[in-house]
Amino acid sequence: MSLKEQLTELRAGSLKRVPPERQAIVERHIEELRNGLAQRALQVGAVAPEIVLTNAKGEIVDVGMLLKRGPVIVTFYRGGWCPYCNLELRAFQRILPDIEAAGASLVAISPEKPDDTLTTTEKNALAFEVLSDVGLKVGRAFGLVYVFSDALKGAYQGFGRDIPGTNGTDEWALPISATYGIGRDGRIVYAYTDPDYRDRAEPEDVLKVLTGAAVAA
């Protein structure tokens, strides 16, 4: 199954379990993001902000150093608690050999603490860098971060989610689930910034664009 097919199947199951009133809150929130935040997220042609973050082992990773070796795929995910995110991370892991064969690197970024990114890495058997953006500095630099409304906060509390506790901050905030392809010159050559967390970029499509841009350069 493609990632899109897996996400569609997961979404169908979720609709059967989530109370309609919570579904309505989430849908309104996504629409609000489409009319606001999604317009501010960095797009193709922009220079990617600096990314220097801690990985799941507590080591500092500088994406600028990775760019010296080749293009980089950067995918922002909400957290290891998100089943849609886990499907996406596993889908990228499946094509990691193709990404590396193309001379590219892959990093995933979430606002979770390093201990939680380690759990996500181990749970999904990930062999690429999973970075911790506590405080959402990098997510904000890319224009991806939103703050929860009271209604959305209540909906997530109904799901049993403590976002500030998970992220090690006192803020109810997350990045939209976005994927970027960054060329060796530091410019964005691919951007998937749909604010609906249930939809994600197909890893193969990202790689295709990235390798095409590398050939053109």
CATH code for position 46: 3.40.30.10
Q: What is the residue range of 126's domain?
A: 3-216
Q: Cα 189–63–76 angle (5° rounding)?
A: 65
Number of domains comprising the chain: 1
Q: In the numeric block, which tokens belong to residue 42? A: 């960095």
Q: Residue 109: is its pLDDT beyond 60? A: yes
Q: Cα separation of 29 and 31, whole Å?
A: 5
pLDDT at 30 over 50: yes
Mean of pLDDT values over 108-113? 95
**Alpha carbon distances (Å) from 5 to 10, 87, 212:** 9, 11, 25
% pLDDT > 70, the chain: 97
Name every residue whose Cβ is closer than 8 Å to that of residue 170 and which is 6 or more positions away in sequence. 164
